Structure 1
Amino acid sequence: MENSLATNIKSLFRLALVVSIPFFILVILGLFKIPNTLNYFKEVIGFGFLTLLFFSVTVLFSKTKNRQFLCLISVIVLSVLLFIKLSFYHNYNVKLSASALFVIFETDTTESADFLANYFDSFVTISGILIVIIIPLLVIYILKHIKISGQFKLLKLIALVFFIVSSFLIYKRFNSENLIITSYQSYSEYSSLIKDLKTDLAKPLSSFVTVEKSDDTPETHIVIIGESTSNWHMQLYGYDRPTNPKLTEIKDQLIIFDSVISPHVHTIISLDKILTLSDFNSPNKKNNTSIVQLANAAGYDTYWISNQRPVGLHERISSIIANAAKEKYFVATENSDEVIYDESLLPVLDTVLKKAPKKKIIFMHLIGTHGRFVKRYPEKFNYFKTDKPNAKFKHEKALQLINEYDNAVRYNDSVVREVIDRVKSQQTNSFVLYFSDHGDELYDTMDLVGHNEYWATRPMYEIPFIAWFSGAYKQSNTYFKTFSSYKNRAYNLEDFIYSFSDLANIRFKELDSTKSIFSNTFIRKQRLIKEGEDYDKRVKLLDK
């Protein structure tokens, strides 16, 4: 009896040690990769309870073969979760969050490849091999050479209690540290959001907002939505390279707002706020309305011309909003790793402009300066070649990517100018607005290329916001004279729908002119980002 009990305890102890191998690795590597002591202890405790949960399940099975199989599966699952957790901390210094998962759900295979190419550095690759491959192989070897054949009959009740307690604590206290729960909840929320958007925002008219019908005066307005373009690399904003030669030529005809930020640094959640009534206080807003629906209700003919593929894992949020337009043109059919030039949108724009001179609002969604910069401009725009930019980081990769990005910005400049020239030739009551959904970090403040809210650098948030107005618009809207005095206003583009409505004279009950950058009743508000951080206070801290 005593020998049998001793054997069972030894087997139980061995089983616990084997299942806990990923936990011990987290305890050690987490000291170096999890930046905050509180976060470290929360991650260790949360992962400890998850390990206890898997261990309890394994103990509940009496048959040796089942127990060995469950032990191996437990280690594999825990190892994969550990690798994701540590690699994300390594790259971003924070835990994997719901907002990051939203981006993953909306990403196509090409963008995933771009992401993984930057994500897997030497540490991630080596730790992946160690944690995801070598550890399971080690466990297989261990299970073949040790005995875990105890019956554990008296301990099953205790194991059941451990299972219940662990499950409760993980769900109630450590759910944000648990990747399984975070992923499930995020995907459920994302699926619900997409369903609501398809139900509400894809319709030509919103049932939640009543819009006053405007007169039939012919008008042609254009909203150009850029991609990944930071004003840090724009000549118009003081950049020391000639990236905006075409727009600089007509600089005196433009109003260049110099203190505008995007609400997020990822396209989907940024455009969800920019193009609808959603904002920081009402994200993924129910009973929502888009600028396309407002324009439809006001009597405009609406057109959506896009150089981005309309589908990812699901329909993209911007594509769902685009479905409300009277006519849709999705020009690009290639993945974003292919050569895509925004000039391909211009013939479509010409066709739309030639339509009967009714009230038109045209939305143009550019590929802009999206990743794989070298594929965003033709060879004749390969202007910055061997030049060495005045960059903070001067290694070979940084210099190459900065040159490619600046070439893409220079090409983007020519496309925006072409749009303005075409609208100008119409000689109608018109405006052209250009902004980017977010920016990119190009080794400006740190040794990094790309965008993510975990680093949240200034170039990722600070975007161009430029307005051009025709002579007819200026004559019929006398308050235009005050616009140039507003160009220094600190503004979060999550309120763009109010600025857009102001310019297009679209009136509806929910219109709040204090949120319009063009209004004389504008009230500056806190520009909140991430989890409620004040952007302007963050900038002051970063600049110290």
Structure 2
Amino acid sequence: MGSRNTAPVTHRRVNWAGLGWMFLFFWYFSGVAQLLIIQAGVAGWKGMVQASMVTLLWMVPLLLFPARTRLLAGVLGIILWVSSLAGLGYFLIYGQEFSQSVIFIMFDSNMQESSEYLGHYFSWSIVAVIVAYSLGGLLLWTRVRPVYLPRKALVACCVLFLGVSVGYNAVHQYFKRATVKLAAAKFEENIEAAAPWQIVVGYHQYRQQLDEMSKMLATQAHIPPLKNLTDQHAGQRSTLVLVIGESTTRQRMSLYGYGRPTTPNLDQIRSQLQVFDNVIAPRPYTIETLQQLLTFADEEHPDLYLSTPTLVSVMKQAGYKTYWITNQQTMTKRNTMLTLFSKQADVQTYLNNNRDQNETSQYDGDVLDPFSKALADDAPRKFIVIHLLGTHMSYHYRYPPTYDYFKDRSGVPANVTDDQLAVYNSYDNAVRYNDYVVSSLIKRFSNTDPNGLLLYLSDHGESVYDPVAPKVLGRNEAAPTRPMYTVPFIVWSSPSWKAAQANLPLDGAYLHRPYSTSHFIHTWADLAGLRFDEFAPSQSLVNADYKQGRLLIGNPHTPSGLRDFNSLPIDPLQAPAAQVAQHKNDPAPGTVPKTAND
């Protein structure tokens, strides 16, 4: 009788079924949440692709140590399961993808707030889903089995899985980015969709941003207040509202003459509004624009925000209780400046905690209830900032299905191709939904019979296959077009506020003044009835002493790259003939024309 061979059998063929079950088990803890996100229409496939690629990393130790497959799978599975519960639970409650912003809120809350949160959102249905989810993971674990590979196949698989999951991404970012720090940040962003990196990366980024924000807040705390500030409305109950839009060019608003009915609600109340039609943003990017719009910095003095108060600080100095309601993804590394502005407010409401706001449905209608709550506050003097997501790319995520209004070529310029049509229409639909949100804010505000005003403007515009640049989509400071900078600027004032501000006639020629929002803080001070030593009446859009200056656009840290907005080409279909004729005499692109004030 021959002896029995107890050595493990080395299969010549790859056990594809074993590899499949192994992958499915690890993928489960990231893929289920991503599938729910896609199914709900909250985001696209980007997160799913990233999570699926990173999943391959966990298969490597099982292939290297097949005799311990079940043990390793169990230990790794528990880690992935625990870390994935936060993302799954957050989606079940909010319908959003877990992100660094959520971690910021978690650590920014006290124990009482956390207890109230759990008590408010506790649901047996959520418990049932989590139990079913956990049982699904356990069932998949029972299907995991050892996979023995020949040495060459083992090496090939390990190299491939490591490369696809993290290796290629790390090397690619290292050579693509200017610094190791930037490369590491982008690498983290590309693995964040998968468990447990949602928690690990999120917490790491939270700590980085918290340190940076703490330094900025400390710097702001040492900035002296404005000198000799006076308030025309001191002692009065008043509410002032600033609504900041996103990526909305006025050239696509029927309120400004666009052929499609993209702003039917604002059109209906136009007689109640002061509609300024010649206002531009200095830069086509949110952070860079707001750094000027909400501070004393401008294109010629870009660093003044480091030594002068922000608009929120100014309003607090004037005795206003301040609120910041935002649907922007605020608490991320890119948006530290936005966090600085918001954290200076007395009350903050953060609505958008998605990991990737560009590819996520997060509707601005969510700001309406927090706004009503702020209006109901008993504070006698209130300053409320509302920061919308507006018409930010990707446009089809900015409005609910009921606002899918424009679907065909009716009213579409001839230059728009069939391939461009869907995007062109989705932008107009986003503008139409933005009209609903802004008009609803005005309606809710006016219904409180306030003493005050509401001002709406957009941070910058957007170029979306417009006739002046038929192939351009988005924003690019290196290749500027007019739609990237032309922004809406409208004011609604209560009757009592208008009467008190009779010295500011917001009509006639005032509405057509060329103006850059880089000087906005002076206009706001005028509208709010504030005066201080630093106030410049010549830079206020609504002041009798206003002086027209150069409408500079571009990166102020490279002055040679600054140019006058009026040097940009004009779309002859959207501009008066006289303006086109005048434009023929404009300076060559890339130059800043001299004026009498130089």
TM-score of Structure 1 vs Structure 2, range by shorter chain: 0.5 to 0.7
Is the 2:248–2:458 Cα contact (8 Å) retained in structure 1?
yes
- Read off the aligned partner of 2:298 and give its amino acid letter: D
For residue 339 of structure 1, what is the amino acid of its counterpart? S
Q: 1:257 is matched with which residue?
A: 276
Contact 1:223 1:364 in 2 (8 A): yes
Counterpart of 2:461 in structure 1 is 439
Superimposed CA distance per residue, residues 260-294 of structure 1 (whole angstroms, 9 cap, x where no aligned partner): 11010011111101110111121132312211000
Q: Which of residues 369, 372, 375 in structure 1 aligns to 2:391?
A: 369
- Matched to 2:319, the amino acid is G
Q: Which runs of 5+ in 2 are unaligned?
A: 1-167, 194-208, 555-560, 572-579, 585-598
Deviation at 1:332, TM superposition (A): 1.4
Decide whether aligned partners of structure 1 residues 331 and 81 sit closer, same or farther in structure 2, where only a CA change above 3 A counts: closer
Residues 211 and 506 in structure 1, CA contact (< 8 A), matched pair in contact too: no
Match 2:513 to one of 467, 489, 502: 489
Distance 1:540 1:339 in 2: 34
- The amino acid of 2:521's aligned partner reads I
User: In structure 2, which of residues 329, 341, 346 is the aligned counterpart of residue 309 of structure 1?
Assistant: 329
Q: TM-score, normalising length from structure 2?
A: 0.58
Alignment-mate amino acid for residue 245 of structure 2: G
Partner of 2:366: 344
1:219 lines up with 2:249 in the alignment: no
SS at match of 1:479: coil
In the TM superposition, what whole-angstrom CA distance separates every residue of 1:405-457 from its partner, at most 9, and x where no partner exists? 10000000011111111111121211111111111100112202111101110
Letter in 2 for 1:346: L
Distance 1:84 1:452 in 2: 19
Distance 1:483 1:519, change over 3 A: farther
Q: Are the counterparts in 2 of residues 276 and 291 from structure 1 also a CA contact under 8 Å?
A: yes
CA contact (8 A) 1:342 1:367 kept: yes
- Structure 2 letter corresponding to 1:333: N
Equivalent position of 1:328 in the other structure: 348
1:479 Cα deviation after fit: 1.7
Contact 1:254 1:467 in 2 (8 A): yes
Aligned 8 A contact 2:173 2:187 in 1: no
Match of 1:499 in 2: 523
User: Is it true that 1:535 corresponds to 2:535 in the alignment?
Assistant: no
Q: Which amino acid aligns with 1:198?
A: L
Secondary structure of the 1:199 match is: helix
Query: In 2, distance between residues paired with 1:106 and 1:82?
Result: 9
1:17 maps to: none
SS of match in other structure, 1:481: coil
What amino acid is the match of 1:487? L
TM-score for both structures, normalised by structure 1: 0.63
Evaluate the alpha carbon distance shift between residue 254 and residue 211 of structure 1 in structure 2; reply closer, same or farther with a 3 A threshold. Answer: same
1:234 matched residue in structure 2? 253
Given the superposition, is the C-alpha separation of residues 106 and 466 from structure 1 closer, same or farther in structure 2, using an over 3 Å criterion?
A: farther
Q: Which amino acid aligns with 2:224?
A: S
User: How much has 1:390 moved relative to structure 2?
Assistant: 2.3
Going from structure 1 to structure 2, the CA distance change for 1:249 and 1:81 (only over 3 Å counts) comes to closer
2:111 corresponds to which residue?
none
Structure 1 unaligned regions, length at least 5: 1-75, 86-95, 114-189
When residues 507 and 435 of structure 1 are mapped into structure 2, their CA distance, relative to the original with a 3 A threshold, is same
Residue in 2 that maps onto 1:456: 480
The match for 2:296 is 277
The Cα shift of 1:306 comes to 0.3
CA change 1:450–1:476 in 2 (3 A) is same
Offset, 1:209:
2.4
Map 1:365-444 → 2, pairs under 5 A: 365-391=387-413, 393-444=415-466
Matches of 1:329 and 1:357, distance apart in 2: 17
Q: What is the letter of the counterpart of residue 226 of structure 2?
A: V
**Residues 340 and 515 (structure 1 numbering): CA distance in 2 closer, same or farther, change over 3 Å?**
same
Mean CA deviation greater in 323-332 or 479-488: 479-488
* Distance (Å, rounded) in 2 between the aligned partners of 1:404 and 1:535: 27
Comparing 509-518 with 421-430, greater Cα deviation is found at 421-430
SS in 1 for 2:433: helix
In the alignment of these two chains, the number of paired residues is 374
Assess, with a 3 A threshold, how the Cα gap between structure 1 residues 208 and 239 changes in structure 2: closer, same or farther: same
Inter-partner Cα distance in structure 2 for 1:106 and 1:348: 33
1:134 aligns with none
Aligned equivalents of 2:215, 2:514: Cα separation in 1: 32
Distance in structure 2 (CA, Å) of the matches to 1:305 and 1:500: 19
Alpha-carbon distance change, 248 to 304 in structure 1, aligned in 2, over 3 angstroms = same
CA contact (8 A) 2:287 2:335 kept: no
Alignment partners' CA distance in 2, 1:194 and 1:356: 30
**1:305 is paired with a residue of what secondary structure?**
strand
SS in 1 for 2:531: coil
- Is residue 108–residue 312 contact of structure 1 (8 Å, CA) maintained in 2? no
**Equivalent residue for 1:120?**
none
Equivalent residues of 2:225, 2:317 under 8 A apart: no
Q: Secondary structure of the equivalent of 1:356?
A: coil
Which residue does the alignment assign to 2:58?
Answer: none
Give the distance between the partners of 1:362 and 1:207, measured in 2 at CA: 23
Change (3 A) 1:192 1:339: closer
CA RMSD, 1 decimal: 3.3
Amino acid at match of 1:212: L
Is the contact made by 2:320 and 2:382 (CA closer than 8 Å) also made in structure 1?
A: yes
Structure 1 residues 62-112: Cα deviation after superposition (integer angstroms, max 9, x where no partner): xxxxxxxxxxxxxx9xx9899969xxxxxxxxxx9x9xx99x9899959x9
How far apart are 1:386 and its partner, in Å? 2.6
Contact 1:391 1:443 in 2 (8 A): no
Distance 1:331 1:107 in 2: 26
Q: Secondary structure at the match of 1:417?
A: helix
